[in-house]
Amino acid sequence: MKLSQRILGLTGGTSDGWELFNKARRMIDDGVAVTELTIGEHDIRTHQSILDAMHRSASAGHTGYAMIPGTNELRDAVAARVFERTGVPTTRDNVLITPGGQSGLFSAHSALCDEGDVALFCDPYYATYPGTIRAVGAVPRAVPCRFENSFEPSFPDIVAKTRDAKTLLVNSPNNPTGVVYSRETMEGIARACCEHDLWCISDEVYDTQVWDGTHISPRTLDGMLDRTLVIGSMSKSHAMTGSRVGWVVGPEPVIKEMINLATHTNYGVPGYIQDAAAFAIESGQPLEDEIGAPFKRRRSLGQAIIAQQNAVGLVPSSGAMYMLLDIRSTGLSGDEFADRLLETHHIAVMPGESFGACAAGHIRVAMTVEDSAFETALHTLVDFAKGVE
C-alpha cells in the first residue's frame, strides 16, 4: 500500500527541525533533568479565571457541536479586539474561529493556493511554514531576511521571489528572531503585494508581546484590506496553548468559503473552549499584560547577561518570547552547538537551522522557565560558548 506523495513530502525530503526537541524529551522520559528552552510554552498555566469560565460553560451543557464558524460571542469578541487594536472596521462575518493558529495557517493557504501555486514565506521562519504550504499542494519559496537587515524582509528581496507567486506569509513579532517589523518594512510588504498581486497571510499570534516598537498589521495599510488574511491565537496571548483556539480575519467572501472548508475538516471548536476564550478576550489588556510580563522581564535579564561578554551575540529582540543568539564565533553550527549543550549541560535550545538557512549559526532560546532558572541556564550557555574548542 502506497501513501500519498503529499503526506510523504511534507518536509521536502529534509529535516523537520524538531530533532533536538525530540531528543530532549527522550532524555526527560529517561529521568534526566533538562532545562527546556525550546518551544514557546508558557511556564505558567492557563489563568484560573479562564479555566473557571471553561468549567462553567461545560457544566452548563455547552459540550455538543458548536457553530462551525465559531460562536457569535467569540467571533464578536475577536472582531471587537481587532477593531480596538487596529482601527479597521471588523465584524463577525470577517472572522473564522479555528483550532489554533496552525489550523488557521493551513486554512488560509487552502483558501488561496491551488495545486502547484508558489507560496512565499520569510526565512527565518517558524518550523511548520514550509510543510503547511506543501500540505495544501502549493510550492514553498523562501524570501531571505538577512542578518544585515536585522532579519526583516526587504522590498527588493520580496520582489525577486514573486515570479508565479500567489501568497506571501509574514510574521511580526517574529518567531524565531523576536524582531518586530518596522513601518518601512511593512510598507514594503504592502507595496510588493499590491504591485505583484499577492495575497498576504499575516501571522500575528505574538501581537500582544511587543517590548520595543509598534506592531503594525498589514491589513491596516493602503490597498491591503481586501488582500490580507490575519492569523490570531489565544495560545501566546492568554497561555491557552492546549485549548487549541485561534482565528482567521479577512474579507467576508473568503471567510465564507473557509467556513465551508471547516465543515469538511475540523467541524469547529468545542463550545466551552470558545466561551472561555471569549471570557479571556473580554477580560481586556490587564490579563494580556499579566501573561506577557515574564517574557518582557526575562528579556531584560537576558540582555544584561549577553552584554557582559562577547562570545555570544544577541539579535535585538523587540517582541515575542524568544531570544535569537549568534554563536558563529564558536565555529559551530547551530545544530552542533545545541546538541553539545544538551549533552554536556542538559540545556535544550533550538538550533537556528531549524528555522531556515538565514538563521544558520544561531540558536533560539525560549524564555519559558522561571527567572532564576533562566538566568542560570543563560550563564551556563555563555560559559559553554567561551569554552568551545
- Reading the block at residue 318, the C-alpha cell is 523587540
Dihedral (Cα; 173, 177, 179, 185), 10-degree rounding: -90
The owner of cell 493602503 is: 222
Tell me which amino acid residue 223 is.
Answer: G
Is the per-residue pLDDT at 33 higher than 90? Answer: yes
Pick the CATH number of 48-283 from 3.40.640.10, 1.10.287.3510, 1.10.3980.10, 3.20.20.60: 3.40.640.10
Split at pLDDT 50, 70, 90, the class of 389 is: low
The owner of cell 531576511 is: 145
Confidence at residue 16, expressed as pLDDT on a 0 to 100 scale: 74
- Reading the block at residue 2, the C-alpha cell is 502506497
Dihedral (Cα; 196, 198, 204, 209), 10-degree rounding: -10
pTM of the model: 0.96
Query: Are the C-beta atoms of 259 and 240 separated by less than 8 Å?
Result: no
Which residue spans of the chain are classified as CATH 3.40.640.10? 48-283
pLDDT digits (tens, 9 = 90+) for 67-113: 999 999 999 999 999 999 999 999 999 999 999 999 999 999 999 99
The H or E element that residue 170 is part of is strand 165-171
**DSSP summary character for residue 126:** -
Pick the CATH number of 5-45+286-387 from 3.20.19.10, 3.30.870.10, 3.90.1150.10, 3.40.50.720: 3.90.1150.10
Residues 6+ apart with CB under 8 A from 246: 97, 98, 99, 100, 101, 102, 103, 104, 205, 231, 232, 233, 234, 235
Nearest CA among 67, 68, 81 for reference residue 230: 81
Tell me which amino acid residue 267 is.
Answer: Y
Which residue spans of the chain are classified as CATH 3.90.1150.10? 5-45+286-387
Cα–Cα dist 341/208, whole Å: 31
Is the per-residue pLDDT at 239 higher than 80? Answer: yes
The owner of cell 467572501 is: 253
DSSP 315-357: PPP-BSSEEEEE-GGGT--HHHHHHHHHHHH-EEEEEGGGG-G
Cα–Cα dist 184/82, whole Å: 22
